[in-house]
Amino acid sequence: MSEPNTNCLEGMKCPKCGSLEPFCIEVTTAAIMYDEGSDYDKYGGDLNWEDESYCKCMECDFEGAVKGFKEETEQEFFNGATGDRSAVETTEGYWDCECKRNFIHPKSCKSCPVCGAEPDEHPDSRVNEVKTGEDRCQCPKGGSDD
């Protein structure tokens, strides 16, 4: 298993695939600008982002706010410091494949007909995503709770 991030991505991990990097993050910065472009490489400022900034995992294309990619410490978890638990609650009744859309499959679906993924090799689905009904797979057993 990879070591956790300890530098500028400290505490970050994709909540879908578990990847520690790379991430595409919406940042703010300062740069010296000219009509022809910038000297950012030479004089660039710090890159900054907020918990609400857009973030995308470059391994699985999962998208969300930076705060959804931050891992809780054990103490934060027990203190409830990061608030809403539904964002990380999963269900054993469904699993996520590698597709960008329609990635939620019931456990009765033994493989994704699009990407070929199998439930034993992929994470359980998030409860809040299953409840919305969006991104359910298109296989015969994917659209219902049967």
Q: What is the pLDDT along the chain (146 residues), one digit of tens a residue?
A: 478 888 889 889 998 888 999 999 999 888 778 888 877 666 666 788 898 899 999 999 999 889 889 875 444 444 454 454 444 688 888 899 988 888 899 988 889 988 999 998 888 888 878 887 777 887 765 444 43
Lateral strand order in the sheet of 54-57: 23-25, 54-57, 63-65
Residue 140 lies in a domain: no
- One domain, residues 51 and 37: yes
- One domain, residues 76 and 101: no
Cα separation, 136 vs 142, whole angstroms: 6
- One domain, residues 122 and 101: yes
Query: What pLDDT is recorded for position 34?
Result: 84
- One domain, residues 71 and 94: no
Query: What pLDDT is recorded for position 61?
Result: 92
Query: What pLDDT is recorded for position 88?
Result: 64
The range of the structural domain enclosing residue 119 comes to 90-132
